[in-house]
Amino acid sequence: MTITLYTQNQCPLCEFIKNYFTEKGLVFTEKNISQNKYRHEMIAFDAFSTPLIIINNQVIHTVDIPIIEKIIQEQQHD
């Protein structure tokens, strides 16, 4: 399973979801859009706010933990 997390500086929800993934032992790649090189990638997903979560090419625009857990479970069984 591949998890990519788009974040930015001074984003409390970004910190929340990073901590959540870390506590669950999930490996993720963080791409901080405060560094311009990742902004165009995020915009390609029609996303304009952080955090943006990509799990195996599935785009998640929320930090709703039950939704995220459901998607993770589905992806782990595929």
Q: Tens of pLDDT along 8-66?
A: 999 999 999 999 999 999 999 999 999 888 999 998 999 989 999 999 989 999 999 99
For the question of whether the overall pTM of this predicted structure is more than 0.75, the answer is: yes
The domain covering 3-77 belongs, at the CATH homologous superfamily level, to Glutaredoxin (3.40.30.10)
Domain-wise residue ranges, the chain: 3-77
14: Cβ contacts below 8 Å, ≥ 6 apart: 5, 7, 8, 50, 51
- Confidence (pLDDT) at 78: 67
Report the alpha-carbon distance of residue 10 to residue 25 in Å, rounded: 24
Q: Which amino acid is at 10?
A: Q
- Confidence (pLDDT) at 35: 80
Neighbours of 12 (CB within 10 A): 8
